[in-house]
Amino acid sequence: MNLSVQAKYFWIAIVCIGSIGIWLPFLLAVPLKQKVGIDTIAINLTTFYISIYFSGCIDFMLKQIDNIEHANRKSNILNIVFLIILCFGLIITTIWLSVLNYITLPIILSVIGSIIALKLWWITNLDNPTFDEFMRAEANNNHGQNWEQNG
């Protein structure tokens, strides 16, 4: 399996490490013989997706501002504003329903928020030069020997 740098980063950093607040409490509860209820999943998922969601929105808006020739720039910025409003709605509703001791609907809403956040991260970073193999290889060919001499 030959994954791109972006896919590896996504699965390792964003999904596995980023979701530590979701799975670590359950993992630690077993050896400590503590009970971790399913009612904490919605809040844990919500705290997971908030940072990914908003950083994706900000990155996408900055890309739109930098891309002057983009024909749909205004529409894309309005889409981001809609996503921010949607995120606030998901967060408030999830917390409110969790406080009222609902379990299923807050989990569903937090899963929806997580999916939107992860998709937004992927779309925002699709053209990110950090993840472009060609650019990394070209930079290494052009500057690799200089870096080795200075390092």
Name which of 5-9, 27-31, 85-89, 124-128 the model is least confident about: 124-128
Contact between 109 and 97 under an 8 Å Cβ cutoff? The reply is yes
Separation of alpha carbons 49 and 38, rounded Å: 18
Give the span between the Cα atoms of 17 and 11, in whole angstroms: 9
The confidence score (pLDDT) of residue 33 equals 83
Mean pLDDT over 105-134 rounds to 85
Q: Where does the pLDDT of residue 151 fall: very low under 50, low under 70, confident under 90, or very high at 90 and above?
A: very low
Q: How many CB atoms lie within 10 A of CB 98?
A: 21
- Give the pLDDT of residue 112: 95
Portion of the chain with pLDDT greater than 90, in percent: 33
DSSP of 37-77: -GGGHHHHHHHHHHHHHHHHHHHHHHHHHH-TT-TTHHHHH
Q: What is the pLDDT of residue 124?
A: 86
Closest CA to 40 of 93, 90, 107, 92: 107
Q: What is the DSSP letter of 3?
A: -
Mean pLDDT of 64-90: 82
Q: Which residue has the higher pLDDT, 95 or 76?
A: 95
- Can you give the residue ranges of every domain in the chain? 5-132
For residue 148, pLDDT over 80 is answered with no
